[in-house]
Structure formats: structure tokens, C-alpha cells
Chain A
Amino acid sequence: MVNPIYILTLSLAAGFLLTLIDKSGRKLSLTVFYGILSLNVFIIGEWFYRLTFLNTPTVIINTAGFSAPLSINLQLGMQEAFVLLFANLTALLSAVYLFKKFKETHISGLILYLIMIVGVNGLVMTRDLFNMFVFSEILSISTYALITLTETKKSLSAGFKYMIAGGIASTFFLLGVTFIYYFTGNLNLDFIHLGNFSNLGFISIFLLAIAVFIELKPFPANGWALDVYEAVDSGIVSVIAVVNSAAIFFVFYKIMPILPQNFLNVFGIAGVITFFFSNLMGLKQKNAKRLLGYSSIGQIGLLVASLIFTMHLPRSLMYLIVGGFFFNHLIAKAGLFWITGIVKKENLKDWNVLKNNKPLLVLFGILLFALAGFPPFAGFWAKWEFVKMLVHGKMFFVVGTILLGSLFEVIFLFRWFTLSIKGDEKTEHKNISLELSKMFPTTIFAGITILISVLIMKFFYDFNWLHALPVLAVLIINVIDFLPSKIKGILSLAAVLTYGYLIYPLESNIQLFFGIIFIIGSAINIIGTLNRKGKSEGFYGLLLMMIFSFGNLLVAITYLEFFLSWEFMTISSFLLILRGKKAQKASMLYLIFSTAGAYLMMVGFSLAPDLVSNSVLILSISNVSLPIAATILLSIGFMIKSGSLGVHIWLPEAHAEAESDVSPFISAILLKAGVFGLLMVGISYIKHTPSFDIFYWIGWIGVLTAIVGAFLASFQEDAKRLLAYSSMSQVGYIVASIAILSHLGWLSAMYLSFNHMMFKSALFIAIAGVYYRTHTRTMYEMGGLIKKMPLSFISVLIMIIAVSGVPPLSGFGAKWLIYSSFIEKGWYLQAGVLFFASGVSFLYLYRIIHTIFLGQLKYEHQNVKEAPIWFIIPQYIFIIGIMAISMFPNLIIQPLNSIAMRYFNSSIIIDGYTISSSLGYWNGNLVMYVTMGVFVVPLIFLMLFNGRMQKVKQFNIVYAAERPESPQTTHVAHNMYAHYRKALGGWGKPRIWDFWHEVSEWSHSLADSIRQLYTGNGQTYILHIIMYVIVIYFISGV
């Protein structure tokens, strides 16, 4: 093992000599330069390994032959080694990134860089306050000079602002150190204790702390930092934002023990405020680097807050939280800054050049997901534990602020991401040059983020390997992405079925039931995707990820496992939706609402009491009583996913804009995950009666969702949008039935869920077929397709009968069950509204079959063929399913009865094919025969006695006068239910849409007015700093 003093001295000596070495050629000096940087990484890496895994005791190195406090000492423990390892690694990789620059620039550039790292290393290791000042000045001065590596007006002026701001901060630091020496007679951190200070002396600690804190860029005293982030070369800025910040953060950590608690509280809150406001202001940002700057500042604020609030936690947990945030920020931010230097586009809208560059896009995606704190990356675990800890500490205000800030961050990061993939801004498509020296470091960091996530999942949480499956699926499919999509599709189908078999021995019927919806339903839907041509790169990976996450929801044991699968599901479905042609806005809406929902759930789960058994969550939840707040938060979270009224606006967009073979997954299956969750909340709720009847209101929301969804569906011109709103309406029924909290209610909810899965899948696949042939989703542009696509027609016909609830198909049974359950519960008004909603649903169902399949065939569609076989097969499988449960309802009612009986006394009697409740009975089998009879007898009669059928040709119709501009719009199919819309009057306005639109406008304009603080004037920035010092001084009441 090499003594750590060498990482200071070797770099220093090399720095001194580089001018001379350079005289014999840049090659030699570059060799020395990179050699020393690598050596540093190696030395520290070895120490990190020893200190962490071999339990080597912390090393303390005194200097000059005297021990502290006489001389200055250095300390290298596990924490120091951790920080240094990543700082040095980042520095090395940044240097690799800057290789081209270093080859050409003045030798001083290399010297400055090398000695900057000395500053970082010294700053982290030293225990002496004044020595910290010296090293921090080494760090700052070299940074100031390196800013001019790209010599532009912007970088120079940013550098100047940085210098004067840094100068002020170090003046405060120096004053603080001086007075600390005066009051304690010591400069060594290990010999200074809070007790040494008189009241008068606290000002000295304050000055020291505020100086370090200002270097950590608190809002609003951080304008200088933003300018630096925007103006400086990507390679250098990643060092400033990552390496320097890490070192200064560690200094803050080192001085924390001598800070009084009231200071720490103020700093913690200031960190949270910084996090919130920088992310809010990030919303308005169009410049990529400045955007990262805002995010960077926010993350550091969060880091400080997490450090302060987790101080008293057990070490390992604190390491996970602070280390997680630290790591996440460090790695992801460096990588993203590097990518900005590779792409070389300032405006976010120009980033769609990434579209054609898969390797870079993948790196970008990984780092962005990591930064946003999505699983499986370190930030996710840190956020989960941090929120849990804050909730336990009853710091709800802090939790709210942090989560809202995170939401803003997700919004601006992913707006950037979706713009990169789907942005339609016209830019000249120059290919981005992927220089090896720049790609290499970025790839390494993306790799490290993944590695760390694996380590956390394996060693910290010890998850069942099933929970890694969603990620593995993506990786594996990525490896075999060169195969044609058919093969990958069949492999995926096999994988899903194998997965189903693997998790099959389930503990309970309720899991089995949802397992059938999630796994079998998905498997059948995969058949529809086999129609894809080409390679469909990445598609099957995401699809498998989503399906596996569905399944993992069922077998999750802890809250965290459940939430993890939930997030995996969100990520994968978001990316799937994003694959749609015009899905940028739609996927954003989906992600924003899902993330908001996920955050509510996170708080909800944190409020939930510990689980007492080792069963799967859906079972063990019945033994814990969720507090009211948790019930409400979790319900809202799940209802967002199931598209309930008020938070439904993502749903039509996402369902409509997703690729047409993805929509069935989203609409028929994904929504059921929300249903599953709500049922889970219900299970805990019924076992323990809280004082406030939440589910009464949930019931109302469900009912209103059903009716509003039905109306909205009727007014759509777009077939997929119509189906989407129809899903919203149907899930409204389901939610309402769950909310009844009775045997019959849950029975009908599950029954309808199953039904809905089948008919909505089939309908979406049918529409996919139609779209595939006609290339339009606008219904009035179609018509008369019955002749061209008879098989699709039959399937749609059967399915809309199943939806509408007319006999004989299963929908009738569903409706009968629902009304019975409502009446039994005594919710008459709700039942009435639902009944009305069913009436409305006839409107849209009629519309879809009429405008697409009936009427006149359009001229353009003369040569349309039947939908491809891959679309027909799944539809007919679902038809068989629908038919089976319509004929033999016991197939499904019986198991559902047994599931519901676990929670309620049975209220129905099953006798043969007859199901009787307190309100009457239903015999599906008999209904089927009767209806068949009623249908078949007149049909035979008509066919026999009404032989004179006449077909109306298209050109029988003569336009009365002139030819209209776009003839379709004069057709009845266009704006079909205009009169109903008129009848609704003011109720027809998209109020909820308007509401969310206003929310967005307001937050953006708020962001815009706050960021006016940053005037760009260096003097204003100093003023901010001084005022910040004064305000914090008086707040912390020194």
C-alpha cells in the first residue's frame, strides 16, 4: 500500500516539473499527466478497498515529525477514501474527455488541472481548518484559471464573477478560521469542540459555516455558479460541478460536528429551499448546460439537507441516503455534462439530433434516469429511505417541498429527453462525431451507475432475483437486438409464459386472478405485436420490463418491492408510449402524472405501519391498519394510474398516441395495476374501520369518472381516443364498485376488470388492424369497412356488445352485478348515474362501429385488405374468452366469489348456472340461449321471407348543390353527437384540462419571475451573497 501523502506530493512535483518536461515534447508531458492522474486513482482505490472491505483502521498522517495539534495532520478513513476515489476517478475521466484540448493548449493548462486535483485531495484529507483554506484556494485558483480553457467573452465574464464571489466567500472563511483560533486556541478540527466557545464565539463558527455553505451554492446566492455552468467547456464544468462540489461538500461534512444544532437546522432548510427553487426555475430553462446547472445546484441542496437530517440515523442507512444522493449526483451530472459537450447543442430543441444516434441516446437515457432518481439507480433508494425517515420524523413540510422539487426536476429533465427523441424541430442533421476520448468516460460512468444499482439491490436490500428481472430483460433484449422483431417477439412470448410458470405457485387466488389479467392477457396481446416489421429496436425489452413488473407487483412482499415494481412499470410504459410517432407531449403528461402519483404513494407507504408477516403484500396488508393519510395518499396514487376523474388527462393522450399495438397493453392491462393497488388499500381499510369514510368519496369519483368518460368518448373523432375515454369510463365503474366495499361490489369489480381486459384488448387490436390498413385513426375518414375487413368487424361487434352490457354477453352480467351491488349498498343515486352512463356508452359504441364499418366505403379504401393475421388471432382468442364466460359464467364467478369471501361474507348463491343475490338472479347460460333464440329466429325469418334486398351504391348519392371543400366533414360521422354536446352546455367544456393547463402556466411564470433575480451582473451576485449571510445570521440567531 502506498502512503496517501504521495497523491499530494507526486502530483505537486509533477506539476512543478511539467514546464520543463514539456520542452521535450507534449507526448511526454501528456504521459506524465495521465500517468499521475491514474496513479492517484490507483492509490486511492487500493485504500478504499482496504478501508472498506478489509477493515483497515483509519490512517492519520502527521507532518513534520510532530503530532496534531502541533502540526497539520491528514486523515484517510473510509469516507475520505470514498469521496476521493470518485473525485479522482471523475478527474481522470474528465481529463481523458479533455484529451484533445490538452494536446493543443498551453502547458499551464495541464499544470493547473493536476494541481487542482491536489487541492481536492488535500481539502478532503486535511483536518486543519487553516490548511483547508489553503487547499480550497488551490482548488479555486486553478479552477478560475481553467475556466478560460475556452476563451470566450462568456467564459471570461463568468470566470470573473466566479472569482469575486469566491473571493468574498473565502474572506468569510478566513475570518471564521481566525476567530475560531482566537476562541479555542486551536485550528485542528479534532481539538475544537462546541464547548470551547463562548456565546461571543459562535459568530466565528457561523462565519466558517456560511462560507462553506455559500460555496455549496445555496439559493438565491448562486447566480455566479449558474453562469459558470453555462459558459464553461463541458469537460471543465463537469469537474467544477462534480469534483469541486464533492470536495466542498465533504468539507461541510467535516465541520458539521462543531456546528450547533440550530445552525444545522437552518442550513438543512436552506438546502431544501435551494432544491425546490432551482428545480422550479429549471422549468423555464432552454439552454442544456444551464439546465444541468440548475439541477446541479438543486441536487447539492438536497445533499446538504439529507446529510443534516440523517445525522442521527444508523451509519449504514445514512450511507445509503447521503451516499446515494452524492453518488447519483456526482456520476450522472458528470456524464450529462460530458454529453452536452459531445452533442454541442445549446438549445434543448436542437437535441433531436440524438434521434439517429443510438449509443449516445442510451447513455443519455441511463444518466438521465439516474439523475431523476428512478429505479434501479442509487438516487431512487436514497430518496425512498430519505422520505421514509422524514415522514417518521414528522417533517411533512420538508417532504412535500422535496417531492415537489423532484417532480419539477423530472419534468424538465424528461422534457429534454422526450424532445431529444421526438422533437420535430428542423435542424440540419449533421451526424454527431463520437470521439473515443469523449465517449469512453461517459460510457464508464453509465456503467458505474448500473453497477452500483446492482450492488445496492444485491447487498443492501437482498431482493429476490425476480425484482431484477425487468432490468435484465431490457439488457438481454438489447444484446439480441440485431434479430428481426418476429423472433424477438416469439422469444418474448416464451419468456412471458415462462415467467408466468415461475411465479405460478401463488399464495392466493387474488394473485392468481390478477396474474391471469397481467400475464396471460399480456401474452395474448404480444401476438398482436408479431406483425411488426424490421427490428423494432428496444421495443421488446421495454415490453418485457413492463410485463415482468406487472407480475412482480403480485409477488412483492415489502412496500419497497411493490413500489420498485410500480416504478419499473411506470418507466417501461413511459418509454413504450414515447415510441409513438407524436407521443412527446402524451408521454410527458403520463410521466408527470405517474411521478406525482408515485411520490404520493411513497409518502403513503412511509406512513404505513410495518408489516407483520412474511406473506406477499396483498395478503399481509390486511393485518396492518393504514392511517387515514396513508389511505388517502395511496388511493390517489393508484387512482392516477387508473385514470380517475380530475387526474385523467394523461390517459386519452397516452392511449391514443402510443403505437397501435402498445395501446392494448396500456389500456387493457396497465390500468388494472391501479385497480390492483386500490383493491390492496381497500383490503387494509375494511379490516380496520377508520373514522372517516374515504371510500364513500372514492365511490363518487369512480361514478363521475364513468359518466364523464362516457360523454367524452362520445365526442371523439379519433378511434383510439374514443376507446381511451371508454377505458376511463369502464375503470370508473370498477373503482366505484371497489369503493362499495361489499362482497358483491368486489365481485363485480373483479369481474368487470377481467371483462374489460379482454374486450378492450380486442378493440384496440382491431383498431390497430384498421389503422394498419387505412393509416388513419380519424373515424369519419373511414366507413364501410365491413366488406373489406369482415373478421375485424365481427370482433368489434362482439366486443361492443360485451362492453355495452346488453344480453347475452358477459357485459350484461357485469352490469347486473354492479347495479345489484350498488342497490344492496343503498347507493341509489350513484347507481342512477351509472345507469345513465351506460346509456351514454351506447353513443360511443354505436359511433365506433357505425363510422368505421358501416355506411359507405371511402374511395381511398377501395383496395384495403383484412387486418393481418397477427391482429386477428389475439382478437379471436379474446372472443373465445368472452364467449366462454358468457356461456358459463361460473368459470369466473366461482373463483371470484371465493376471493371476495376472504374479505366479506358471501352475498350470492351459486346454483348450477344460476347466480342469485338478494335482488334476483342471473343465469348467463340461459340468457345466452334466450338471446340467441330472439336473435336467430327473426334472422331466419327475414332471410326466408325478405328476399328482395337491394344494395345502395356509393354513387347513388348526388350532392345537392356545390361540392364542399372537405366532403367528409359534412358527413353524419363527423362531429356525430354535436347536438348532445350542445345539450350539455357549459358542462361540455374541458374544465379539468384547463385547470391543469393553468397550473402549468402558473408554475412556469412563477419560475420565470423568480429567475429574474439572476441579473447577470457580478455586483448583484455579491450583494446576494452578503444579504444571504446576513439573513441566515439573523435567522439562526447566533
Chain B
Amino acid sequence: MIKRIFILLALVGLVLMFIPFLRDFDFHKELSKLSSQYVEGSINDLNTQNVVTSVIVTYRGLDTLGEVTVLFLTTAGVGFLLRKKKASLKTRRSSELLQTASQFLFVLIILTGIFIFTHGHLTPGGGFQGGVLITTAFLLLILADVNLKFNYSILHFVESFSGVFYVMIGLFGFLILGMNSFLDPTILPLGNYGKLLSAGAIPVIYSLIGLKVGSELTTIIDKMGGE
């Protein structure tokens, strides 16, 4: 009971903390200087339609590398925690209809996912979104057949190499263009604005991210699935 009172007190305290802030909050009317620079830079320096993508992959590329690392860590962490072999569950086989449909959808979803991460510099979306979509495809398969076994070697291979290539592309920039160019996409030609092959290494990086995210999330879901 006393604890309840403290909890309420704490939450009321938080509300009190934020109320003056929210009351007097006024929204910006213009882009900040930094954002405007990003918007212009995206057009002039990077040939990238999607400003968010150029921010994510290039300007804040180190964040994204970190983000990929976080996902990778989670895969490793979940794998580490649930490191015992999981037992096969005895379940009723799901219906023929479900299985066929899911396999059909699987291909479609994978293709959509690939489309999203390869067009990350042009349209909304990108490596993460595409990767997640790919994972949903695998999730669909798992849901259709709980005892499905993946080929871990391939998963690990894709996961590892997409990560290593990402780092290597970063290092190429660093080696070719100088010490301030880690993760610089201009190591590849910038191409024509608005075309698939443009924006330098951005689509390549985003594709690698897409593959990595897809394979990692699949591993996580698979690990947790049987528990």
C-alpha cells in the first residue's frame, strides 16, 4: 500500500516535472541550420533523394554502424543466453493450405524487402525496414511450421559478411579519401540524381544493412521461437 502511494507520488512528480515544459513548448517553424545543410548536402554532395537516408547512412553513419552492431550484439546475446539446444515441439502439422500459401508469400515478401533496401536512397524505407520485412517472411515460415530448421551456416555467413563488408566499405573511404572519410559514400561514383545507381556507396551500404538486419532478426526470432 505504502509502495503504491510512493509509485503514485513518483509519477505525479514526473508529471509535475514535465508540465511546465509542455505548457510553454513552442514548435519550430523553420528547419534548423544543421538540417538545412543536410537537405542541401543531400542534393548537392550525395545525390540522394531521401534526406533521411543520407543522414542515416552518411552524415550519421557511425550511429548506424553502431546500430547494426547493437542488433548484432542482441543476436549474440540472445544466442548466448539461450545457448542450450532447444527441444523439438510435438505439434500438429499445419494444414497444406497454410504451408503452400506461406511459401508463396515468402518469395513475395523477400522480393519486396530487397526492393525496399536497394531503393533506400530514393524512396522511404531502407536497410532496416527491408531487413525487418525479410524477417517477417521467415517468421511466416516459422509460424507455419514450428519445427522448421534453418541452415545456420548460411545465416551466419550472410550475417558475418554483410557486417564485415560494411566495415570494409567504411575503411575504404578512410584509406582512399583520407583520415576524415571513414564511411564516406563517395568512393563510388555518385551517378545521376534520382536513379537506382546513384548516391555512391549508399545503396550498397543499405543493402548490406538490409541483409544483416534480416539475417540477425531471423536468428533472434528463431532462437526465441522454440522457448
A residues with a Cβ closer than 8 A to B are 3, 5, 9, 12-13, 15-17, 19-20, 61-67, 69-72, 74, 105-106, 108-109, 111-112, 115, 118, 122, 126, 128, 130-131, 134-135, 137-138, 141-142, 144-146, 148, 182, 185-186, 200, 203, 1020, 1023, 1026-1027, 1029-1030, 1033
Please name all residues of chain B whose beta carbon is closer than 8 Å to the beta carbon of A137 when the two chains form the complex. Answer: 66, 70
User: Is the beta-carbon distance between B170 and A9 smaller than 8 angstroms?
Assistant: yes
A-B contact pairs, 16 of them (CB 8 A): A5-B182, A12-B163, A17-B163, A63-B61, A64-B173, A65-B181, A70-B41, A70-B59, A71-B58, A111-B76, A112-B73, A131-B63, A141-B74, A145-B81, A1026-B14, A1029-B17
Please name all residues of chain B whose beta carbon is closer than 8 Å to the beta carbon of A61 when the two chains form the complex. Answer: 179-180, 182
User: Is the beta-carbon distance between B34 and A70 smaller than 8 angstroms?
Assistant: yes
Please name all residues of chain A whose beta carbon is closer than 8 Å to the beta carbon of B171 when the two chains form the complex. Answer: 9
Please name all residues of chain A whose beta carbon is closer than 8 Å to the beta carbon of B180 when the two chains form the complex. Answer: 61-63, 65-67
Partner of B79, one of A17, A106, A128, A1026: A106
In this complex, which of A15, A65, A1020 has the most chain B Cβ atoms within 10 angstroms of its Cβ? Answer: A65
Contact A200-B184, Cβ < 8 Å, known A70-B38, A112-B80, A1030-B10: no
**Least CB distance, B51 to chain A, in whole angstroms:** 13
Contact A131-B41, Cβ < 8 Å, known A13-B164, A63-B182, A71-B60: no
State the CA gap A148–B84 with chains docked (Å): 13
State the CA gap A185–B60 with chains docked (Å): 15
Residue B168 at the chain A interface, CB threshold 8 Å:
yes
Contact A148-B32, Cβ < 8 Å, known A16-B163, A66-B59, A67-B180: no
Please name all residues of chain A whose beta carbon is closer than 8 Å to the beta carbon of B161 when the two chains form the complex. Answer: 16
Residue B150 at the chain A interface, CB threshold 8 Å:
no
User: Is the beta-carbon distance between A12 and B65 smaller than 8 angstroms?
Assistant: yes
State the CA gap A8–B167 with chains docked (Å): 10
State the CA gap A196–B184 with chains docked (Å): 30
Residue B224 at the chain A interface, CB threshold 8 Å:
no
Residue B123 at the chain A interface, CB threshold 8 Å:
no
User: Is the beta-carbon distance between B63 and A134 smaller than 8 angstroms?
Assistant: yes
User: Is the beta-carbon distance between A64 and B58 smaller than 8 angstroms?
Assistant: yes
Contact A64-B6, Cβ < 8 Å, known A17-B160, A20-B160: no
Please name all residues of chain B whose beta carbon is closer than 8 Å to the beta carbon of A108 when the two chains form the complex. Answer: 76-77, 79-80, 83
Please name all residues of chain B whose beta carbon is closer than 8 Å to the beta carbon of A74 when the two chains form the complex. Answer: 62
Residue B7 at the chain A interface, CB threshold 8 Å:
yes
User: Is the beta-carbon distance between A64 and B61 smaller than 8 angstroms?
Assistant: yes
User: Is the beta-carbon distance between A115 and B73 smaller than 8 angstroms?
Assistant: yes
**Least CB distance, A173 to chain B, in whole angstroms:** 14
Partner of B66, one of A20, A131, A203: A131
Would you give the 0/1 interface string for B173-195, flagging 1 where the beta carbon is closer than 8 Å to chain A?
Answer: 11001011111111000000000
Please name all residues of chain B whose beta carbon is closer than 8 Å to the beta carbon of A5 when the two chains form the complex. Answer: 174, 179, 182
In this complex, which of A63, A200, A1033 has the most chain B Cβ atoms within 10 angstroms of its Cβ? Answer: A63
Would you give the 0/1 interface string for B74-92, flagging 1 where the beta carbon is closer than 8 Å to chain A?
Answer: 1011111101000000000
Contact A70-B61, Cβ < 8 Å, known A17-B164, A141-B70: no
Please name all residues of chain A whose beta carbon is closer than 8 Å to the beta carbon of B184 when the two chains form the complex. Answer: 63-65
Please name all residues of chain A whose beta carbon is closer than 8 Å to the beta carbon of B78 when the two chains form the complex. Answer: 145
Contact A122-B173, Cβ < 8 Å, known A108-B83, A200-B25: no
State the CA gap A1023–B4 with chains docked (Å): 10
Across the two chains, which residue of chain A brings its CB closest to B155? A19
User: Is the beta-carbon distance between B10 and A1027 smaller than 8 angstroms?
Assistant: yes
User: Is the beta-carbon distance between B6 and A1023 smaller than 8 angstroms?
Assistant: yes
User: Is the beta-carbon distance between A15 and B72 smaller than 8 angstroms?
Assistant: yes
Please name all residues of chain A whose beta carbon is closer than 8 Å to the beta carbon of B157 when the two chains form the complex. Answer: 20
Please name all residues of chain B whose beta carbon is closer than 8 Å to the beta carbon of A67 when the two chains form the complex. Answer: 180
Residue B94 at the chain A interface, CB threshold 8 Å:
no
State the CA gap A5–B61 with chains docked (Å): 14
Please name all residues of chain B whose beta carbon is closer than 8 Å to the beta carbon of A106 when the two chains form the complex. Answer: 79-80, 83
Contact A64-B183, Cβ < 8 Å, known A72-B62, A134-B67, A148-B80: yes
Would you give the 0/1 interface string for B136-161, flagging 1 where the beta carbon is closer than 8 Å to chain A?
Answer: 00000000000000000000110111
B residues with a Cβ closer than 8 A to A are 3, 6-7, 9-11, 13-14, 16-18, 20-21, 24-25, 28, 32-35, 37-38, 41, 45, 58-63, 65-67, 69-70, 72-74, 76-81, 83, 156-157, 159-161, 163-164, 167-168, 170-171, 173-174, 177, 179-186
Partner of A203, one of B9, B10, B21: B21
Please name all residues of chain B whose beta carbon is closer than 8 Å to the beta carbon of A128 when the two chains form the complex. Answer: 60, 62-63
Please name all residues of chain B whose beta carbon is closer than 8 Å to the beta carbon of A112 when the two chains form the complex. Answer: 73, 76-77, 80
Contact A1030-B17, Cβ < 8 Å, known A13-B167, A61-B179: yes
Partner of B186, one of A3, A65, A1020: A65
Across the two chains, which residue of chain A brings its CB closest to B7? A1023
Partner of A1030, one of B3, B14, B38, B159: B14
Please name all residues of chain A whose beta carbon is closer than 8 Å to the beta carbon of B74 when the two chains form the complex. Answer: 141
Please name all residues of chain B whose beta carbon is closer than 8 Å to the beta carbon of A1033 when the two chains form the complex. Answer: 17
User: Is the beta-carbon distance between A69 and B7 smaller than 8 angstroms?
Assistant: no
Please name all residues of chain B whose beta carbon is closer than 8 Å to the beta carbon of A148 when the two chains form the complex. Answer: 80-81
User: Is the beta-carbon distance between A1023 and B79 smaller than 8 angstroms?
Assistant: no
User: Is the beta-carbon distance between B33 and A185 smaller than 8 angstroms?
Assistant: yes
| Chain B interface SS verdict (over half) | helix
State the CA gap A17–B45 with chains docked (Å): 33
Across the two chains, which residue of chain A brings its CB closest to B177? A65
User: Is the beta-carbon distance between A71 and B32 smaller than 8 angstroms?
Assistant: no
Partner of A20, one of B28, B83, B156, B181: B156
User: Is the beta-carbon distance between A145 and B41 smaller than 8 angstroms?
Assistant: no
Please name all residues of chain B whose beta carbon is closer than 8 Å to the beta carbon of A1030 when the two chains form the complex. Answer: 10, 13-14, 16-17
Please name all residues of chain B whose beta carbon is closer than 8 Å to the beta carbon of A186 when the two chains form the complex. Answer: 32, 34
State the CA gap A201–B170 with chains docked (Å): 36
**Least CB distance, A1025 to chain B, in whole angstroms:** 9
State the CA gap A71–B181 with chains docked (Å): 10
Partner of B179, one of A3, A16, A64, A126: A3
Partner of B63, one of A72, A118, A142, A203: A72
Please name all residues of chain B whose beta carbon is closer than 8 Å to the beta carbon of A12 when the two chains form the complex. Answer: 65, 69, 163, 167
Contact A9-B167, Cβ < 8 Å, known A63-B62, A66-B41, A1023-B7: yes
Given contacts A5-B182, A185-B32, 18 further A-B contacts (CB under 8 A): A3-B174, A9-B170, A13-B164, A16-B159, A16-B163, A19-B160, A61-B179, A63-B181, A64-B173, A66-B45, A70-B34, A70-B37, A112-B73, A118-B69, A128-B62, A145-B73, A182-B28, A185-B35
State the CA gap A185–B31 with chains docked (Å): 9
Across the two chains, which residue of chain A brings its CB closest to B34? A185
Top 7 nearest A-B pairs (CB, nearest first) are: A145-B77, A185-B32, A16-B163, A1030-B13, A134-B66, A108-B80, A65-B184
User: Is the beta-carbon distance between A16 and B164 smaller than 8 angstroms?
Assistant: yes
Please name all residues of chain A whose beta carbon is closer than 8 Å to the beta carbon of B62 when the two chains form the complex. Answer: 63-64, 71-72, 74, 122, 126, 128, 131, 134
State the CA gap A70–B63 with chains docked (Å): 13
User: Is the beta-carbon distance between B76 and A145 smaller than 8 angstroms?
Assistant: yes
User: Is the beta-carbon distance between B10 and A130 smaller than 8 angstroms?
Assistant: no
**Least CB distance, A77 to chain B, in whole angstroms:** 16
**Least CB distance, B172 to chain A, in whole angstroms:** 11
Across the two chains, which residue of chain B brings its CB closest to A5? B182
**Least CB distance, B223 to chain A, in whole angstroms:** 11
**Least CB distance, B109 to chain A, in whole angstroms:** 26
Partner of B160, one of A16, A62, A145: A16
State the CA gap A138–B69 with chains docked (Å): 7
Partner of A144, one of B17, B77, B156: B77
Please name all residues of chain B whose beta carbon is closer than 8 Å to the beta carbon of A1027 when the two chains form the complex. Answer: 6, 9-10, 13
State the CA gap A957–B148 with chains docked (Å): 101
**Least CB distance, A100 to chain B, in whole angstroms:** 17
State the CA gap A605–B69 with chains docked (Å): 53
User: Is the beta-carbon distance between A200 and B156 smaller than 8 angstroms?
Assistant: no
Please name all residues of chain B whose beta carbon is closer than 8 Å to the beta carbon of A144 when the two chains form the complex. Answer: 77
**Least CB distance, A743 to chain B, in whole angstroms:** 69
**Least CB distance, A98 to chain B, in whole angstroms:** 14
Please name all residues of chain B whose beta carbon is closer than 8 Å to the beta carbon of A62 when the two chains form the complex. Answer: 180
State the CA gap A64–B81 with chains docked (Å): 36
**Least CB distance, B162 to chain A, in whole angstroms:** 8
